Structure 1
Amino acid sequence: MKKRLALIDMGTNTFHLLITEVDENGQRHDFVKTKVPVRLGQGGISNGAIAPEAYERALQTLQDFKRQIDAHQVQTVRAMATSMVRNAANGEAFVQDILEQTSIKVEVIDGAREAELIYYGVRSAGVLDAQTALIMDIGGGSVEFILANNQEIYWKQSFEIGAQRLMDQFFTQDPIPAESIAAEKAYLAERLQPLTEAIAKYKPTVLVGSSGTFDTLCDIEALRKGDTSRQQHIPAASELSLEAYYAIHEELLRKNHDERLAIPGMLEMRVDMIVLASILVDFILQTYNLDQIRVSAYALKEGVLQTVLHEV
């Protein structure tokens, strides 16, 4: 029996739509896989409300998603909203407007559930093994950290320190000055105290980056080597050497907006936030002595897919 599903991830920066069909053997056929830079947090994340322009962009994007869902005669629709919506003063009204205008029922999930769903998605990409990994998902509003292996989650927490929030706080000049980098790292050291304690206990050996920023870093590295295969198909699991990451990281810090945009593989919607996100990656690698980076192209929406298929 084939199941046709639509999965929507309403992130703070990007809205994702996946329309897929899964057969009885668990084989997937994707009809639509798209991401739209809605920037739901723009102009409002630091004020605790969705700004009018972002609100409108989001509704228009979801109306377009609904047209695609209807065109593919989807049976099951799951839409998840995360950090921006769960923290916004007008979040409830926003969810109600979506229901009235598109008939899409949005589930607003808390940080713990978001982390759990990201774990299911990452696990289904095949990047985890028996050793303990630190999974990291950098969103615009929140960052999820999960300590786990391919069998179980040991610890998980969502922190409201996403790239849009970091950008509002620390990205006052471009290129970013050394004192802003130092200020971001000092802030992270303070905010991530619970993670530091968990890492001391569970001792992960590898960093697993989930989607987003990490996909873009892999795209840039592939094109540097003349490998264009990722332009056609992004593999579920990739590796990124520390050497390759640091070469890109230093370039991101050195360049301004237009120069970063000219880097082959850079996405316009990520061109500024990736600076703050990369500083966060550097902080994690250095602070917790991790010497390997794996990347999962799968994240929240693939995790939701796993829950629909296996009811976990």
Structure 2
Amino acid sequence: MTEHDLELDTPVSKPSEETAPEQSSKDLYAAIDLGSNSFHMIIARDVLGQMQVIDKHKEMVRLRSGLDSNGMLSAESFEAGIACLERFGQLIKHIPTEQVRAVGTNTLRNAKNSREFLKAARKAIGHEIQIIPGQEEARLIYLGVAHGLPQNAEQRLVMDIGGGSTEYIIGKDFSYDHLTSTEMGCVSVSELFFNNNEITQANLDRALSYCRQVLRPHYRKLMRLGWDTAIGASGTIKSIGTILEENQWSKDGITLKGMQRLCEKLLEVGNIEQAEIPGLKEERVPVLLGGLVILMVTFEELKIEIMQVSANALREGLIFDTLGRLHSEDAREISISALQQWMKVDIQQAKFIAETALCLYHQAHNTWQLHSPDYSYKKLLEWAAQIHEVGMALSYKRYRHHSAYIAENADLAGFSQQEKLMLAAMLLNHRGKFIPEVFDNLPKPQRSKLPFLTLLLRLAVRIHRGRENDQILPLIFIEQETHVHLEFESNWLDKHPLTRLDLNIEAERLALAGFTLTFK
């Protein structure tokens, strides 16, 4: 089932030449959300720093319903998802790559064959799809909702019910104080407790009890932080709000009493498919019961009196986050800086290593073709240099392993799972034995490029082992891709005998990884 809205504030004329679509698309941005229940796309224009929506498209793919008992996406759901993305691809083919963001959420986080799906999806849509952690999903949801609200001093509770997860965020204006992503969603709860859309008091009670258990570890902190206004995002919450309003079961927002009236009506009928309720769309029937239970439990446990419904959600947050990245307001930069502060990293040492690594990068990136429409290898190298020593906060022994673990598992706002995996692979390999096998878990383009990027990091770390407070900018020459030659200022190595010894050791270790390192 498809919903397609076109909202244009200005008339669109027919392109007069073949290049017109590309020229007119330079100020367009696209965000794609591969949710567990539906796939969403939004296309917007940047007008003086503000987002003007010009197109929306949604399809109820129900990816979560295609997960089998072994955690694999079925062939049917796999194909349905790819077919949807091919249609999405038609609408965004003229938009610049750096202005398109596509993310996968709970189901693609958990599906065992998500890697195969992402490979086919990349081909279908023409863009990389990044799997984002639950915390990042919550951050982007809040960002999208906040941009649709007036700026004021109110503390907000924002809630989003997805197909496989539900997010809770507390914040003020554009800043959040708490992010929570829980493993319950409208699809998963509906499938667990409301088989064939049947509703009885018994399965309703079981579903309510289950959702209370999932929310219980989080509600104390949410209650302690408090809020002035509760706001709901997502299609499920919008649908419930519409039903309550059209049946006059609540007004000016969603209330617990109104949802209880809806529950009573559904219990009378016994099967939601047979319920003739104004405002209930056919596409929402298979997932409404699960979403309703999650929302009722949230109201009960958090003592919510009324909830307003937001028109914005994850996809709008993606657009604003992309605008921020392109205008030097990248959340990832803030995350790296915060991690440095939290783990008491030697900032000055990290700065020198980053400068040397980037100096080498600028000389080598064309030879090694360190370019990607989906990732900035330059930024990945800089971030890796800035946090390569975070593991020392745990222990110097095996600290590179600790650094890699932290990079992969920490909640780093702005980072996708793929980006965290790339950072972890580089940090694990920034010194010691070179372990090329860790790159095997990365997609093919990154799998072949990350060893080169890691080599530059290793060289910068070796060169600065003495932790001197001076800038070192060596020359790098590359022959036949794997032969690397370094040249330093006259007599520099003579004044730094430990670095000369380290580079000799590094040459031996790189040889085992297929590289030749020489220097003078």
TM-score when normalising by structure 1: 0.87
TM-aligned CA deviation for residue 258 of structure 1: 2.7
1:9 matched residue in structure 2: 33
The answer to whether the 8 Å contact 2:42/2:57 transfers is yes
- Quote how far apart the aligned CAs of 1:206 are: 3.5
Identify unmatched segments of 5+ residues in structure 2: 1-23, 326-330, 332-520
Which residue number corresponds to residue 211 of structure 2?
188
Measured after TM superposition, the shift of residue 24 of structure 1 is 1.7
The Cα of 1:298 is off from its aligned counterpart by: 0.6
* Equivalence for 1:304: 318
2-structure distance, mates of 1:101, 1:141: 24
- Counterparts of 1:24-173 in structure 2 under 5 Å? 24-30=48-54, 32-44=55-67, 47-70=70-93, 73-75=94-96, 76-126=99-149, 129-172=152-195
Identify if the C-alpha distance between structure 1 residues 4 and 272 changes in structure 2 by more than 3 Å, giving closer, same or farther: same
Tell me which moved more, 179-188 or 251-260: 251-260
Structure 1: state its 5+ residue gaps. Answer: 226-237
- Work out which of the residue numbers 301, 304, 315 in structure 2 matches 1:287: 301
Distance in 2 of aligned mates of 1:162 and 1:213? 10
Q: Any idea what SS the aligned residue of 1:271 has?
A: helix
1:235 aligns with none
Q: Is the 8 A contact 2:183 2:214 kept in 1?
A: no
Runs of 4+ in structure 1 off by over 6 angstroms are none
Amino acid at match of 2:291: A
Aligned to 2:421: none
Deviations 1:31-63 (A, max 9, x none): x21110001111316542211100000000000
- Structural RMSD (CA): 2.3
- Cα distance in 1, alignment partners of residues 301 and 151 from structure 2: 22
Q: Structure 1 residues 29, 39: closer, same or farther in 2, change over 3 A?
A: closer
Range that drifts further, 2-11 or 37-46: 37-46
Q: Which amino acid aligns with 2:195?
A: T
Q: Name which of structure 1's ranges 112-121 and 203-212 shifts more when overlaid on structure 2.
A: 203-212
Q: Indicate conservation of the 8 Å contact 1:20/1:29, yes or no.
A: yes
1:259 and 2:268 aligned: no
Q: Which amino acid aligns with 1:24?
A: L
1:138 and 1:163 in contact (8 A); partners too = yes
Tell me how far apart the structure 1 counterparts of residues 142 and 266 of structure 2 sit (CA, whole Å).
28
* Distance verdict in 2 for CA 1:29–1:151, change over 3 Å: closer
> 1:268 is matched with which residue?
282
Query: How many residues align structurally?
Result: 296
Deviates more, 1:166-175 or 1:293-302: 166-175
- Distance in 2 (alpha carbons) for counterparts of 1:241 and 1:197: 21
What do residues 233-284 of structure 1 show as CA deviations (whole Å, max 9, x unaligned)? xxxxx83355544433433444423334x43332222113111111111111
Q: CA deviation at 1:216?
A: 1.2
Would the aligned equivalents of 1:130 and 1:151 in 2 still touch at CA under 8 Å? Answer: no
Secondary structure in structure 1 of the residue aligned to 2:149: coil
Aligned pair in 2 of structure 1 residues 27, 13: CA closer, same or farther (>3 Å)?
Answer: closer
Which has more strand, going by share of residues?
A: 1
Between the aligned partners of 1:37 and 1:43, the Cα distance in structure 2 is 12
| Residue 240 (structure 1) aligned with residue 254 (structure 2) | yes
- Rounded to whole Å, the distance in 1 between the matches of 2:229 and 2:68 is 31
Offset at 1:172? Answer: 3.0
Match of 2:201 in 1: 178
| Contact 1:185 1:283 (C-alpha < 8 Å) held by counterparts | yes
Distance 2:136 2:174 in 1: 17
C-alpha separation in 1, matches of 2:34 and 2:218: 25
Give the structure 2 partner of residue 216 of structure 1.
239
Aligned to 1:233: none
Kindly state the Cα deviation for residue 205 of structure 1 after the two structures are TM-superposed. 4.3
Structure with the bigger percentage of helix: 2
Deviations 1:176-218 (A, max 9, x none): 1112121122222222222122123212344311121121123
Q: Which amino acid aligns with 1:197?
A: R
Please give the alpha-carbon distance, in whole angstroms, between the structure 1 residues aligned to 2:79 and 2:151: 39
8 A contact 1:45–1:84 mirrored in 2: no
* Cα deviations by residue, 1:143-192 (Å, 9 ceiling, x for unpaired): 11112222421211111111111122111364411121211222222222
Q: How far apart, CA to CA, are the structure 2 residues paired with 1:253 and 1:186? A: 17
Q: Which of the pair has the greater relative contact order for Cα pairs under 8 Å at 6+ separation?
A: 1
Query: Aligned partners of 2:209 and 2:187: how far apart in 1?
Result: 18
CA distance in 2 between partners of 1:51 and 1:269 (Å): 21
Taking structure 2 as the reference length, the TM-score comes to: 0.53
**1:34/1:249 Cα in 2 relative to 1: closer, same or farther (>3 Å)?**
farther
Q: Does 1:250 find its partner at 2:264?
A: yes
Partners in 2 of 1:129 and 1:39 — Cα distance? 37
